[in-house]
Amino acid sequence: MRIPLSAPDITETDIQAVAGVLRTPHLSLGPKVREFERAISNYIGTADAIAVHSGTSALHLCIRSLGISAGDEVIMPSFAFIAVANAVRYESAIPVFVDIDPQTLNLDPDKVEAVITLRTKAILIVHTFGCPAEMSALLEIARRHRLYVIEDACEAIGAEYDGRKVGALGDVGVFAFYPNKQITTGEGGAVVTNNSEIAAKIRKLRNQGRDETAEWIQHSELGYNYRISDINCALGIEQLNRIDTILDRREAIAREYNQRLCQHPNLKLPPLTLSRRKISWFVYVVRLGDRFTQYHRDWIVNEMKARGIGTGRYFAPIHLQPIYRSCAVPKSALPIAEFCASRSLALPFFNRIRQEQIEEVCRVSIELIQVAEKRCDNRK
Ligand SMILES: Cc1ncc(COP(=O)(O)O)c(C=O)c1O
């Protein structure tokens, strides 16, 4: 793509840091992993952080360490990345999908209590696209029903709710560092928590079920190899060092898009500010107006691609994915998730996007939406 949907922002300092690790014998379980973990826990404001090789493995370790198992139910949005539900199914537990708030695209707290049963163990809250969920209402429901709160902050590092970083508000929080994220380690993830027992368990499960203090070949749990290398963590340390600049830059890009697209009546733009929240911009997603259908959105995606502009269809609801259709029938209808998913369009969004690229993306998007509008009119 001439203008990609996303692109990592790698500096010469990042490259030097990675090369530096390669000059040492410590490529895994070494000092850079610990340093990255300390940097993450300091930044988020939790007692501990455990670095792992992906956001998916971070989610899975949360489910395992909380003892969520066969037949247990976990409440979550369907308008999310599929790993959220997969992590629950790895333990034969059941994802229970709840509809979203159309403005924040996050779990609608008003719809959560209706699906709580005796088997419900946790609410898995996703801070979609970097916008914090309605935490005070969700935490209150969890407290009343004695449910765990797992915060999926994979798309939201640095976002805040009531002045506190997301990820630190529930029992456990997870982050992901794939190259399309605000900061990257190549592949990588982390769990944060204030609970020292959960942290110790996750540390053990990450490393084949070994006790930290025991002999290398002593395994006291059924664990995994979910380790992350020091090479990845060296990159993560450098990226985290400049996260404030990165988040400011991303916010400025979102503002620029909003300013250029706000005149268009048939586009719903993401809110730049929301009360009690600081947004950490992961992606920039617009929604086509009510008169459009998925057909129009997909046509625009293909036309943009033909012009060398990358876009994304974020997100396809999980309950409509072929692998979930038969096994996770929603207990209630999810009309807002389905409506938003069919009309969402993620535009190119990365730190180094240039002004003229933003201008081109906006110009082409508006042109194509106008053509799509004519098609809608002709169908009347
Ligand atoms: C909300 C959410 N959860 C989990 C993940 C999984 O992260 P990873 O791709 O690092 O496994 C992602 C990845 O994009 C995500 O967006």
* Mean per-residue pLDDT, 339-350: 97
The mean predicted confidence, pLDDT, of the chain is 95
* pLDDT per position as a tens digit, 153-162: 999 999 999 9
pLDDT of residue 375: 81
| 264 vs 379, higher pLDDT | 264
59 CA distance to ligand 1 middle (Å)? 9
The answer, yes or no, to whether any atom of ligand 1 lies below 6 A from the CB of 330, is no
Task: Give the position, in ligand 1's atom list, of the atom nearest the Cα of 56.
Answer: 11
Task: Give the position, in ligand 1's atom list, of the atom nearest the Cα of 54.
Answer: 10
Q: Is the pTM of this model over 0.95?
A: yes
Predicted confidence band of residue 329 (pLDDT cuts 50, 70, 90)? low
| 373 vs 188, higher pLDDT | 188
pLDDT of residue 211: 84
188 CA distance to ligand 1 middle (Å)? 10
* pLDDT per position as a tens digit, 67-107: 999 999 999 999 999 999 999 999 999 999 999 999 999 99
pLDDT of residue 81: 98
Active-site residues, by number, are 181
The answer, yes or no, to whether any atom of ligand 1 lies below 6 A from the CB of 151, is no
Task: Give the position, in ligand 1's atom list, of the atom nearest the Cα of 126.
Answer: 1
Per-residue tokens: 119: 């088997």
Residue 374 has pLDDT above 90, yes or no: no
* Mean per-residue pLDDT, 172-193: 98
The answer, yes or no, to whether any atom of ligand 1 lies below 6 A from the CB of 178, is yes
97 CA distance to ligand 1 middle (Å)? 17
Question: 33-42, 236-245, 365-374 — which is least confidently predicted?
Answer: 365-374
Residue 380 has pLDDT above 70, yes or no: no
157 CA distance to ligand 1 middle (Å)? 12
User: Residue of the nearest CA to atom 5 in ligand 1?
Assistant: 55
* Mean per-residue pLDDT, 316-339: 86
pLDDT of residue 82: 97
d(CA 149, CA 134): 13
Question: 199, 210 in Cβ contact below 8 A?
Answer: no
d(CA 3, CA 326): 38
